[in-house]
Structure 1
Amino acid sequence: MMLWGILVLGLTVLMISRFFKKLNYRYPPGPRGLPILGNLFQLDSVKPWHTFAKWKEMYGPIMYLNVAGQPIVILNSKKVAEDLLERRASNYADRHRFIVLEKTTGDSNIAFMRPGERWRKMRRASEHALGLNASSNYYRAQTNESILLVYGILNQPNTWQSQIERASSSTSLSMVYDLPPLHSLNDPAVIFMNSFVECIGRVAMPGNFLVDMLSILEHLPLSLAKWKRDAEANFNKFSSKFEDMFSKVKNEVASGNEQRPSFCVNLAENQNQHKMSDRDCAWLAGALYSAGHETTATTMNWFIFSMIHFPEVQMRAQEELDRVVGRSRLPSFADIKHLPYIRAIVKEVLRWRPAVPVGVPHIPIEDDYYEGYFIPKGTLCIPCAWSINRDSEVYGSDADKFRPERHLNEKGQLKDETDEGHVTYGFGQRICAGRYVANNALFIQIAMVLWTMRLEAIKDSTGVPLKPEIHAENSNGIFVRPPPFEIHTAARSQDADAIIQQARDEVMEEALARPDVS
Structure 2
Amino acid sequence: MLLSWVKTFGDVIYINIFGRPVIVLNKVEHAIELMDKQGAAYSDRPRMVYLNEIFSASMILTVNYGYEVEPGEDPLVKLFEGSDATIARPGSPGATLVDFFSLLRFVPPFLPGGKFTKLSGQARGALKMMLNKPFDAVIEQRAAGVASHSLLALMLDKYEQNGQVDQSQLKAIKEVSGTMYRAGAGTTSALLRSFVHAMVLNPVVARMGQAEIDCIIGNERLPAFEDKGLLPYIDYILKELLRWKPPIPLGIAHRAIHDGEIAGKHIPKGSLIIPNIGYMMSDERNYEDPGRFFPERFMSDVSGTENTVLDPSSAVFGFGRRICPGRHFAEASLWLAIANMLAVFDILPVLDNDGHEVLPENKFTEGLTW
Coarse TM-score class (shorter-chain normalised):
0.7 to 0.9
CA offset at residue 84 of structure 1? 1.0
Residue 307 of structure 1, CA deviation: 1.1
Match of 2:332 in 1: 440
Q: 1:95 to 1:181 in 2, by over 3 A?
A: same
- 1:339 paired with 2:228, answer no
Q: Which amino acid aligns with 1:287?
A: T
Match of 1:512 in 2: none
Corresponding residue number in structure 1 for 2:150: 262
Paired residue for 1:90?
Answer: 40
Q: CA deviation at 1:410?
A: 2.2
2:29 aligns with one of 67, 76, 79: 79
Residue 473 (structure 1) aligned with residue 364 (structure 2): yes
Q: CA deviation at 1:87?
A: 1.0
Counterparts of 1:210 and 1:181 in 2: how far apart (Å)? 36
Alignment CA distance shift 1:216-1:303 (3 Å): closer
CA distance in structure 2 between the aligned counterparts of 1:362 and 1:175, rounded to whole angstroms:
28
Pairwise CA distance, 1:413: 11
Greater alpha carbon shift after TM alignment, 378-387 vs 275-284: 275-284
Residue 77 of structure 2: which of 190, 198, 201 is its match? 190
TM-score normalised per structure 2? 0.84
Query: Aligned partners of 1:104 and 1:414: how far apart in 2?
Result: 48
State the SS of the aligned residue for 1:64.
Answer: strand
Find the partner of 1:428 among 320, 326, 331.
Answer: 320
Higher radius of gyration, 1 or 2: 1
> Structure 1 vs Structure 2: percent identity of aligned residues?
30
Per the TM alignment, residue 454 of structure 1 is displaced from its structure 2 partner at its CA by: 2.0
Contact 1:249 1:268 (8 Å CA) reproduced: no
Matching of residue 278 in structure 1 with residue 170 in structure 2: yes
Normalised by the length of structure 1, the TM-score is: 0.62
1:390 aligned counterpart, secondary structure: coil
CA contact (8 A) 2:26 2:276 kept: yes
Does residue 406 of the first structure (1) align with residue 265 of the second (2)? Answer: no
* 1:263-412 alignment, distance < 5 Å: 263-271=151-159, 277-395=169-287, 397-410=288-301
Q: Deviations over 1:383-409 (max 9, x none)?
A: 1111011122222x2122111112221
Q: For residues 79-121 of structure 1, what are the alpha-carbon distances to aligned partners after superposition, in whole Å with 9 as ceiling and x for unaligned?
A: 1111111111121111221223222344xxxxxxxxxxxxxxx
Q: Which amino acid aligns with 2:134?
A: M
1:148-207 deviations in Å (ceiling 9; x for gaps): xxxxxxxxxxxxxxxxxxxxx33332232122222333x432333334434432466579
- Secondary structure of the structure 1 residue equivalent to 2:358: coil
Counterpart amino acid of 1:79?
A: E
Deviations 1:258-317 (A, max 9, x none): x54323123223447999711111111111111221212111111111111112211211
> Unpaired segments of 5 or more residues in structure 2?
none
Secondary structure at the residue paired with 1:91? helix
Matched to 2:216, the amino acid is: V
Give, in whole Å, the separation in 1 of the partners of 2:62 and 2:172: 20
> How far off its partner does 1:430 sit?
1.4
CA distance in 2, matches of 1:350, 1:294: 14
Whether contact under 8 Å (1:98, 1:204) holds in the other structure is no
Measured at CA, do residues 191 and 414 of structure 1 come closer, stay the same or move farther in structure 2, by a change above 3 Å?
A: farther
Q: 1:72, 1:468 → 2: CA distance?
A: 36
Provide closer, same or farther for how the CA distance between residues 466 and 413 of structure 1 changes in structure 2, counting only shifts above 3 A: farther
AA at the equivalent of 2:243:
R
Over 3 Å counting, the alpha-carbon distance change for 1:218 and 1:439 in structure 2 is: closer
What amino acid maps onto 1:194 in structure 2? Answer: E
The amino acid of 1:401's aligned partner reads R
Q: Quick one: which of 139, 160, 170 aligns to 2:58?
A: 170
Secondary structure at 2:357 match in 1? coil
SS in 2 for 1:179: coil
CA change 1:267–1:344 in 2 (3 A) is farther
Alpha carbons 2:92, 2:252 under 8 Å: kept: no
